[in-house]
Amino acid sequence: MMKLFVDSNYLSPYAMSAFVTLREKRIPFELTTVDLERAEHLAPAYAALSTTLRVPALSDEDFHLSESSAICEYLEDCYPDTPVYPADIRQRAIARQIQAWLRSDLMPIRQERATEVVFLKRSSPPLSSTAQAAAAKLFAAAQALLPAHGQFLFGTWSIADTDLALMLNRLVLAGDEVPERLATYARTQWQRPSVQEWIDKPRP
């Protein structure tokens, strides 16, 4: 059975992405938590599983993989019958582009609207001007990517929908001003059973 290693507080958006992918594909797996506050991710035993010393990490027998987008793509290649990426090669490339962008950009949003806002419902001070500029960039990109009357980015659900919705919900759930079409999209994605299962994990 596969093992998915996630943070013990269930706050990592990237661990959530890998978890949702496994659930959507109905792959049996064991969920193992890593206490980041106690630096368990730096221990030699975990270093043998995660080259990057981060969560999530996936173990598939004697094969170990880090980084959530790599994990999602590996699972897609291994279990293609229940896809989490679009079938069209260009749409699939855009989905991966979205994932890469959300993981590498928009740092002011990630800093000022950490996932404690999303999963622990913590309040936050108003966005700085830098974060407001990042939010405007996010809104412009999301408006361009989301079809005018579509519920999903690519006609049917993909893991990119979950990842984009999480970034938007950093703002929506903090009470920040978000274009209604994007706020509705983010709330709709949040109701997916696999996402709700992660949201309902026990947290301190």
Model confidence, pTM: 0.95
Q: Does any domain span residue 96?
A: yes
**pLDDT tens digits for 115-171?**
999 999 888 899 999 999 999 999 999 999 999 988 999 999 999 999 999 999 999
Number of structural domains (the chain) is: 2
Residues 77 and 117 in one domain: no
Residues 58 and 141 in one domain: no
Q: Residue 119 contacts by C-beta under 8 Å, 6 or more apart in sequence?
A: 10, 11, 199, 203
Q: Which domain holds residue 32?
A: 2-83
pLDDT of residue 204: 80
Q: Does any domain span residue 200?
A: no
Handedness of CA 102, 183, 139, 181 (dihedral sign): positive
